Amino acid sequence: MQFLIPHLTAGVLTPADIALLQKIFDEISAKAWFPRDLDRQREFAAYLLAQYQRGLVAPDRLSALALVAARRKFAPPQPLSGTLILVVEDDYFVAAEAEAQLREGGAEILGPSTSVAFAMALLEGRQAPSAALLDVRLDEETVFPLAEALASRGIPYVFMTGYGAGVIPPPERLRPLFHKPACWSAVISTLSDLKS
Strand order in the sheet with 108-113: 108-113, 84-88, 131-135, 157-161, 177-179
The Cβ-side half-sphere exposure at 84, using a 13 Å CA radius, reads: 9
Which pLDDT tens digit goes with each residue over 25-44? Answer: 888 888 888 888 888 888 88
Residue 30 one-letter amino acid: A
pLDDT at 162: 86
Residue 91 one-letter amino acid: D
Which pLDDT tens digit goes with each residue over 92-107? Answer: 999 999 999 999 888 9
Which pLDDT tens digit goes with each residue over 140-185? Answer: 899 999 999 999 999 999 999 888 878 888 889 889 999 898 888 8
Which pLDDT tens digit goes with each residue over 47-88? Answer: 888 888 777 667 777 888 888 888 788 877 778 888 999 999
CB 149 within 8 A of CB 123: yes
Cis peptide before 76 (omega within 30 of 0): no
Beta strands 141-142 and 137-138: pairing type?
Answer: antiparallel
Select the highest-mean-pLDDT range: 69-73, 111-115, 184-188: 111-115
Residue 10 has pLDDT above 80, yes or no: no
